[in-house]
Amino acid sequence: MIDPHLLLSGVIFGLSMGSIFFLMAIGLSLCFGLMRIISLDQLLYYAIGAYLTYTISSLVGNVWIGVLAGVAVSGLTAFLIERFVFLRIYARDITFSMITSFGILIGGIGVIKAIWGLVPRPVEVPIEAQINLLGTEIPIYRLVVIAIAIAVYWGIWLFLNKTIIGKAIRAGIEDVEHVEGLGINVYRLFTLTFVIAGAMSGLAGGLNAPLIMVDPNMGLEILAFVFMVVIIGGLGSIKGTFVSAFLVGQVVSIGSLIYAPLAQMAPFAIMLLILLIKPTGLYGSAMLKR
């Protein structure tokens, strides 16, 4: 049996990893739900957020300012890309957006390589302190990451359920044409959703930067896990994304405690299992053909 201290720190590790997955996957999921696009370029905003965190925090000396700058710049980049690229392809088939956004992702990685070079960059952890939880030393920073993810989930839930714009977005996920019929400019909603998604990805990158090394291909490295989260949760479902993000985080973390290579394989096995039972994922609905 696993040592309980090891297990507890494994669970916290899994939760913090799940938080990052959630912040990444929420953007993909929202974009798919509302606009019916698969926006692989979210992984680019993730890398941008991390690199901005690196640059600003080494300039200013405060990681949190770096994270904020990362969020702002990723949101801005998302806005520009939405205006210049996605606006032209909303009406096209879903595969179309997937190919185009993959192009943006690869091209953006090229830009990052041109600006920051190929060398992996370290970012210092903003909170070094550890807290004693049931006799196990837990880094506070990981707890902060988890808290931020939960706050974001709560904030997005409030936004979607309590504000009129959020309600319009939820209605758009059900049926975009009806929302348009009500006289709401859906393209404004699209832009807003896309920028929120991009900013969330940037936040994920900024928060994850102190936990890993920042390198140009970091988006591609997390790609598989983010997709597993989105697929397991069901494309377009926020609750599903939340549940499956923490599920995948736990599976990776606990799996690596039991048998290290398992960490990479186990989520895939779970994904296949869930897709076999329910081809639309845990919370995905069958209405997704528009």
| Residues at the site binding other proteins, with contacts judged by CB under 8 A | 32, 38, 85, 88-89, 91-96, 98-100, 102-111, 113-114, 217, 220, 223-224, 227-228, 230-231, 235, 261, 264-265, 268, 271-272, 275-276, 279-280, 288-289
- Number of continuous H segments (helices) and E segments (strands) in the chain: 12, 2
When the beta carbons of 143 and 220 are compared against other proteins, the nearer one is 220
CB-CB contact of 246 with 22 (8 Å): yes
CA distances from 115 to 94, 100, 123, 184 (A): 31, 22, 17, 40
- Minimum CB separation of residue 289 from other proteins in Å reads 8
Looking at the Cβ atoms of 5 and 88, the one nearer to other proteins is: 88
What is the rounded distance in angstroms from the CA atom of residue 206 to the CA atom of residue 284? 29
- For residue 198, the minimal CB distance to other proteins (Å) is 17
Q: Residue 282 — φ and ψ, nearest 5°? A: -60, -50
**Which residue number, 145 or 271, has a Cβ lying nearer to other proteins?**
271
Answer whether 140's CB lies under 8 Å from 130's CB.
Answer: yes
CB of residue 26 to other proteins, shortest distance in Å:
16
Q: What distance in Å separates the CA atoms of residue 16 and residue 179, rounded to the nearest whole number?
A: 37
Smaller CB separation from other proteins, 120 or 279: 279
Q: Write down the least CB distance from residue 279 to other proteins, Å.
A: 6
Closest CB 34 distance from other proteins, rounded Å? 15
